[in-house]
Chain A
Amino acid sequence: DSGVTQTPKHLITATGQRVTLRCSPRSGDLSVYWYQQSLDQGLQFLIQYYNGEERAKGNILERFSAQQFPDLHSELNLSSLELGDSALYFCASSVDWGISYEQYFGPGTRLTVT
């Protein structure tokens, strides 16, 4: 158990819908990362937050957005869903934002868009 929790574990929804994925980082971790894992693209970085502020963006679509709240939990919002958005979404956290700090990954949310 990494200490990172993600809810829900599974999510099935239809095209065009909007969903919210939630992540609670390890206690004390200030940095949160979101990653997407699909069969064709592999593991891809989406976005990073540090202590409530966006720190870096990766291959995140404009239909996707995220935020980190004062209690440090984070939410990833996916809207106008397409079939290709079906994937595993992982949240990871680290104590700080430097590369010396290992990232702890949650168990993921499996999103299926039908």
Chain B
Amino acid sequence: DAKTTQPNSMESNEEEPVHLPCNHSTISGTDYIHWYRQLPSQGPEYVIHGLTSNVNNRMASLAIAEDRKSSTLILHRATLRDAAVYYCILRDLYQAGTALIFGKGTTLSVSS
């Protein structure tokens, strides 16, 4: 399975943009890039996913490098509620199972 590398932790201030990086240098052409986050004492929740083009939704934006070897999750205005562990996960279109394979993720702290 292609692996991802994320910083262990990042800090942000409330109402500032946050850029969470993810490296995936061995990504294959059929790997989709998914982001999930886990708020304290909760189960993970879906954030966003994409293949090649940048993606936006109500929660965040996903910027994918042209060579697809890295991507960045962008939270446009961080709130205290965005403090969570963020997981960057590659999911192969043709993998036998469709489970999420979690790494260690990035712990985002948000200060007021």
Contacts and interface: CB of A to CB of B under 8 A. Distances in A.
B95 A90 contact: no
A56 B43 contact: no
Q: Which interface class (under 10, 10 to 19, 20 to 34, 35 or more) fits B?
A: 20 to 34
Nearest to A43: B102
Interface string B21-41: 000000000001010101000
Contact of B99 (A42, A58, A98, A102): A58
Contacts of B91: 99
Contact of B98 (A42, A57, A97): A97
A92 B43 CA distance: 9
B14 interface: no
Interface in B65-112: 87, 91-93, 95-104
B6 to A, nearest CB: 13
B46 A55 contact: no
B45 A56 contact: no
A42 B97 contact: no
Contact of A99 (B43, B44, B98): B98
Contacts of B93: 99
Nearest to B38: A43
B42 A56 contact: no
Nearest 10 interchain pairs by C-beta: A56-B97, A105-B43, A102-B46, A45-B99, A43-B102, A99-B91, A90-B43, A105-B44, A99-B98, A97-B98
Interface of A: 2, 4, 31, 33, 35, 42-45, 48, 55-58, 90, 92, 94, 97-108
